[in-house]
Chains A and B, each alone.
Chain A
Amino acid sequence: MNRFAFVKAQTLAEAAQASATVAGLIASSAGATGGGSVVKAGGIDLLDLMKENLLAPDTILSLRDIPDIDTISARGAGLRIGAMATLAGLADHPLVRDRFKALAQAAAASDTPQIRNVATVGGNLLQRPRCWYFRAKEFDCLRKGGEHCFAHSGESQYHAIFDNDICAIVHPSTIATVLVALEATVELVNAAGVTRRVRLADFFVSPSEDPTRENDIRIGEILVAVEIPATPRSSRCVWLKQGQRASSDWPLADVAVALELDAAGKCTHAVIVLGAVAPVPRRATSAEALLVGSIIDDALTKAAGCAALDGVTPLTGNRYKLPLLEALVQRAIAQALTTPGQSRQAAAQAL
């Protein structure tokens, strides 16, 4: 690891002086040879990247001392989550557990207690992918600004089964799967103090747009908060993860399902988000379309699980993810049906 200056930024404006994004620095040839300044939240991912010499910044601007960007608070019946809130804080917060249980569960299932105590919501959303070709200095892969994706002809068991023709990473954030399902918005502030709000689903960048970054954070921007609106479906939201291990492991696939049912039990709105199977959290739109307008029974649940695989393009090593994902989607839908919908009061607040 290189030597670097460590600056404890006291204000957002100070932190916004960072000269580069992590993705930008890695994709430029300067990434590993040094130079540039980047911001640090929990530092979990940054440390990994620096230890592997993928990144050698001159200066690290820590966000830790900046006040008021780690609080979790109610916004009507929704939530505002400061980006510096930790995953442990998210998992344990009564408001999160009460209003968006699936999010609390996803946070609690991430990695180990030691990591969750330090890792932040913002850092988790912005972390770089875990693809072993991306993570190893020796592989000059597309995502590091190189020529090609090694997973295509290489070891692909943990890679994407969708949208993988350019680069086969899967998005690493587990909470992102739930947050997209909950229709969350991220709030970013730039050096001029201008705030930009983007729907999280639109914030992510697919390889066809740019294979060297996973999201649209710009130089000098700080992700300060995530906002979750209360919607009629957000309380009937279920998240399921399947890892090879339950201890400290990345999902082989995870799924978030949010359903809205009318008084007769008919599905009026469905959001199904697939995680760890595509370069960005993926909406299973054909599965969603199947559910809307019907009373969901076993047969329809099965059909939706099957439809979630629409557009799948597995690689040699990851075809097993197809049945696994299908099963997870079916289970998540089934659980969402039995998950209590929102209380009348919450519904009233939401409207």
Chain B
Amino acid sequence: MIDAPAMRTEHFPFGIKGAGLGTVQRQVPSDEPPPLPPNAELVQIGKPAHRQNGRAKVTGAIRYTVDVTPEGMLNGMILRSPFPHARVRAIDVDDAARCPGVRAIVIVAKPDDPHSAVVRYVGAPVAAVAAASMAAAAEALALIRVDYEPMPFVVDMDEARAPDAPPVHDKMSAPAGHASGFPAAAGLPIVGNIRGPAIARRGDLAMGFAEADVTVEGEFRTSVQTHCCMEPHAIVADWRTDGLTVHMSTQFTAGVRQELAKEFGLPLNRIRVVVDGMGGGFGSKSSLGNYGRLAVQLSREAHSPVRVILDRKEEQTDAGNRPAVLQYLRVGAKRDGSLTALEALSYGTAGIALGASAGNFAQSIYACANFESAHNDVFINAGPGCAMRGPGNTPGAFALEQMIDELAERLAVDPLALRDKIDASPVRHEERRLGAARIGWDRRHATGADAGTVKRGVGMAQSMWGANVQTNAACEVRVMRDGGVQILSSVQDIGTGIGTVLAQVVAEVMGLRPEDIDVRIGDTDFPAGPPSYGSRTTASITPPARTAAWRVMQMMFAEAALALNAGAGELIARGGRIYVAGDDKRSIGFCDVAAHLRTDRISATASRADDYGGYRRSMQDAALAQQDLGGAQFAEVTVDTETGLIRVERVVAVQDCGRPMNPMLTESQVQGGVLMGLSYALFEERIIDRGTGRIVNANLEQYKLVGSRETPAIDVILLENYQGRSATDAYGVAEPANIATAPAIANAVYNAIGVRLRSLPMTPAAVLMALGKVPAETQP
């Protein structure tokens, strides 16, 4: 029988440092640690500790998945469809099977299976081969003969919406999924290539517009963006009679284990998923993926470990993407700025599968009683999308934050003043204040007022993201008899340095240094950690880390109390010793205490306690915290009105992540978010040849990413925002750091040239077109 946990009352620091820091009273489970004081009073947490594996990363010593080469490993490669839509009538693998070194072949597109026989995008897997070397595998792939019957296809979203467009799916293949992300709308109608609409509404839209003194509206388009992880997707699958071991570059070891169990009918205790170094994921490494499934199948067939690494073309084609979205927005407001109605209609390129919504941002960020959004996924013959850094909200913010600026202009008020009026978030209010001061908002001139050819502009935009928590998250902390400390969790380091943060947390509790803590993560043999997506890693795993460390320390204090002849409750840990509080002369070394332990090691495992005071919404394994994560970004740009070139000179990013655990690592993550947003704003676009359905820029030469010479000065300001919700009060920052950048740049561009760019990317071609400098298409 389990009793409801005993609760106790605690007082937590509350509010934003610098804007009125007080306390809040919360009921907390009695086995949770005491409230953590503000960062200023701490030794390790909130300090800029260096990334523990930084040296290993820059020297190449760290082990990425591609570096895992078990004895007898085979190389797997995937044969991919050259057609955007085709039926595989026959596939002949006999010659390939006879190729020297070939050990296994898996056929994906089976001619006798009406479902799998149809390939629906260029790059869709048709078959896979495992061979002794990559050269042998490539040779075998070339020997597979496939008889394709090409079918009509469509790769352009506007064309795909037409009633007579070639259907991407048949009745059997149409994914039953959803059009919008959170929460999923199930059972949506599919007509032609359009799935939806998924509708969200509140109030009375017509009444809202009737009440409006001013209405603004606009059409916005964003491009398909790909994740472009530096480290490609990679897996080494090792299927053995006693179980399956998978090394994989993944954002969610525990999730991949669950997928494998389901997919291959294996018990969880026979599957181990491991990742060490990771070179980014951004949403694209959240699940097993078709390449992962194929690697396991090949290993099962070959009775050997099989490695599959996607090359850059495969990365750009079949590793997911951020869908392009077409949005129509309409906003009504009173003369005083208050919003009376907000309407958002959108269409997203789902590729062959994913939802591509963008309405959540408009639904949530500003107070508006009358709201309606309708989102539609449009299927096209292209690789499926997947989550990417701030899915939905990133394209959503590009549109709405420009619309709000346009409204401010119509109302003849400053864009910041209008947001002060309509944005209820005290966090963003403070962020606007800090950001405006840092960028020098006062210097901002009237729209288009800069003289000369190269015009300067300043703009801003805001972000909003749910503060996600993985409730299914745990870790273990151990102390050895020699004083060694370990922390263990399956949580993985996507590249942001969560291992270093965990070491800081444990070190803080134990009075040790972060480098004293042995961090063992990225392995499902340890307690299940959270995924590294949805900006939830730090929020989910640092509280149980502190709790587990605190519980182990209670055992250490009990042991030390005997030696110090004091009560365990009187003891504190500091500088590698345990002291009687208030008496510096009575202390004992941490290692000396450990030496007296009854067993070789003691340990405590803690899981993520629910946020104190509860969640806004709970789902299985995950929950949404009461408060949102806000951000405000300011951009200063120059626009060359003759060449159309936009240069972003400076970005000020003011971000909220609850309690910053390690400002150095957090700032670095925010810089990454800004760069990715800048890249989205100015450069990135998947380009598909309409005639053949092939991506023409499936490489990093012609798919353009921001480079060193386009990197602006980036000022990061982190709020210290205490809410008293968990043992660490830390939340995420990955996505909010990315969402506001593109609209901030777009608003700055408008301020510079007085013409609004409503499509991404904002290339010289787009700027010159918007300025009316491109001659019309009438050649003599």
Contact = CB atoms under 8 A, between A and B. Distances in A.
B694 A323 contact: no
Contact of A244 (B687, B704, B769, B774): B704
B707 A246 contact: yes
Contact of B768 (A154, A155, A244, A320): A320
A331 B763 CA distance: 20
Interface string A305-322: 000000001101011101
Contacts of A158: 702
B617 interface: no
B764 interface: yes
Contacts of B147: none
B692 interface: yes
Given A245-B704, A249-B704, A320-B768, A154 B691 contact: yes
A327 B691 contact: no
A245 B765 contact: no
A203 interface: no
A247 B701 contact: no
Interface string B694-713: 10110001101011111000
A328 interface: yes
Contacts of A157: 765
A150 B689 contact: yes
Given A155-B687, A324-B764, A248 B645 contact: no
Contacts of A136: 694, 696
Contacts of A4: none
Interface in B607-622: none
B689 A155 contact: yes
B775 A322 contact: yes
Given A138-B82, A155-B696, A319 B775 contact: yes
B765 A247 contact: no
Contacts of A139: 692, 694
A319 B777 contact: yes
A130 interface: yes
A100 interface: no
B683 A327 contact: no
B773 interface: yes
B702 A132 contact: yes
Contacts of B765: 157, 318, 320
A245 B82 contact: no
Interface size bracket, B side:
20 to 34
Contact of B691 (A132, A150, A244): A150
B690 interface: yes
Interface of B is mostly: loop
Contacts of A316: 777
B27 interface: no
Given A153-B691, A316-B777, A324-B768, A247 B763 contact: no
A323 B682 CA distance: 19
Contacts of B704: 244-245, 249
Interface in B270-323: none
A327 B643 contact: yes
A245 B690 contact: no
B643 A245 contact: no
A246 B765 CA distance: 16
Interface size bracket, A side:
20 to 34
Nearest to B765: A320
B310 to A, nearest CB: 15
Contact of A242 (B706, B708, B764): B764
A297 B710 CA distance: 34
B642 interface: yes
A306 B773 CA distance: 13
B773 A323 contact: yes
A130 B708 CA distance: 22
B59 interface: no
Interface string B332-372: 00000000000000000000000000000000000000000
B565 interface: no
Given A138-B82, A154-B689, A154-B690, A244 B764 contact: yes
A245 B697 contact: no
Nearest to A154: B689
Nearest to A330: B642
Interface string B655-690: 000000000000000000000000000110001011
B644 interface: yes
Contact of A324 (B643, B702, B777): B643
Contacts of A247: 706-710
Contacts of A132: 696-697, 702
A245 B710 contact: yes
A308 B687 CA distance: 30
Contacts of B682: 244
B599 interface: no
Contacts of A252: 764
Contacts of A331: 642
Interface string A111-154: 00000000000000000001011001011000000000010011
A153 B643 CA distance: 25
A262 B774 CA distance: 37
Nearest to A315: B777
Nearest to B767: A320
- Determine which residue in B683, B690, B769, B774 has the highest number of CB atoms from chain A within 10 A of its CB, and name it: B774
Contacts of B777: 316, 319
A4 to B, nearest CB: 12
Given A155-B687, A320-B644, A244 B697 contact: no
B776 to A, nearest CB: 8
Interface string B705-730: 01111100000000000000000000
A314 B687 CA distance: 19
A324 B704 CA distance: 19
Interface in B115-150: 135
B779 interface: yes
Nearest to B688: A155
Contacts of A245: 683, 704, 706-707, 709-710
B659 to A, nearest CB: 36
B97 to A, nearest CB: 22
Interface in A229-276: 242, 244-249, 252
Contact of A320 (B696, B708, B709, B774): B774
A314 B777 CA distance: 9
A133 B696 contact: yes
Contacts of B779: 313-314
A316 B774 CA distance: 11
A127 to B, nearest CB: 13
Contact of A327 (B135, B642, B689, B701): B642
B569 to A, nearest CB: 59
Interface in B751-774: 763-765, 768-769, 773-774
Contacts of B763: 244
A87 B759 CA distance: 37
Interface in A41-81: none
A21 B691 CA distance: 31
A155 B685 CA distance: 13
A248 B779 CA distance: 34
Contacts of B642: 323-324, 327, 331
B687 A323 contact: no
Contacts of A328: 643
Given A138-B82, A324-B764, A246 B687 contact: no
Given A242-B764, A245-B704, A313-B779, A138 B694 contact: yes
A114 to B, nearest CB: 12
7 contacts: A154-B690, A244-B683, A244-B764, A245-B706, A320-B765, A320-B768, A320-B769
Interface of B: 82, 135, 642-645, 682-683, 687, 689-692, 694, 696-697, 701-702, 704, 706-710, 763-765, 768-769, 773-775, 777, 779
Given A133-B696, A136-B696, A322-B775, 19 more contacts: A132-B696, A136-B694, A138-B692, A138-B694, A139-B694, A154-B691, A244-B683, A244-B764, A245-B704, A245-B709, A246-B709, A246-B710, A247-B706, A320-B644, A320-B764, A320-B768, A323-B644, A323-B768, A328-B643
